[in-house]
Amino acid sequence: MQIGVLSDTHGHVGHCRQAVHLLESLDVQAVLHCGDIGSIAIVELLSAWPAHFVFGNCDADLEELSTAIARAGLTCHGWFADLNLAGRRIAVTHGHLPQPLAQAQQSGEYDLVCYGHTHRAEQHWQGRTLVLNPGALYRARPLSFAVVDLDRLTVERFTLPAST
């Protein structure tokens, strides 16, 4: 199973739309959004997949976002998601609250921990846990997102041109 991992869209529809077109061309079966969603338009763009959202520090109207996510038939996890997809335990948080991120990374309970906030792509292993920041689709150079193959627990990063 392949999943798309996005973060820090900050309501930028153009960049998110580019990422969605790429995700459509890949065999992605679910999408995780690591916070700073920014607008309900982003939720609507991701409604083609089972999508899971967490909030970020720049998400202002949490009730409006929660309602839009539910209306689209998607899942809002608040500030932290604890998921099981394809037999993998996955934590998703924005990363602006250091304690939940550190606990998830250090617990040894997760196969994959996804976070955003820094607008910088990075990945590393902490014990048996793959820790992934997909980068950002707003105010980042380069603009990026990731696709994770959950069977092999490998990451492919995709970058977008910054001009749109």
pTM: 0.96
Per the domain annotation, does 7 fall within a domain? no
Per the domain annotation, does 84 fall within a domain? yes
DSSP line for 34-59: -S---SHHHHHHTTTS-EEE---TT-
Per the domain annotation, does 17 fall within a domain? no
C-alpha 100, offset from chain centre: 16
> Nearest to residue 86, comparing CAs of 149, 133, 14?
149
Per the domain annotation, does 27 fall within a domain? no
Per the domain annotation, does 11 fall within a domain? no
Per the domain annotation, does 16 fall within a domain? no
Q: DSSP 3-state assignment of 12? A: coil
Number of domains the chain contains: 1
Per the domain annotation, does 9 fall within a domain? no
CATH number where 156 lies? 3.60.21.10
Structure tokens given for 109: 């309970």
d(CA 9, CA 135): 10
Per the domain annotation, does 10 fall within a domain? no
HSE-CB of 25 using CA atoms within 13 angstroms: 6
Listing from the earlier edge strand, what are the strands of the sheet with 51-53? 75-76, 51-53, 28-33, 2-6, 143-149, 154-160
- pLDDT tens series, the chain, 164 aa: 999 999 999 999 999 999 999 999 998 999 999 999 999 999 999 999 999 999 999 999 999 999 999 999 999 999 999 999 999 999 999 999 999 999 999 999 999 999 999 999 999 999 999 999 999 999 999 999 999 999 999 999 999 986 54
Its domain, for residue 54, covers 33-160
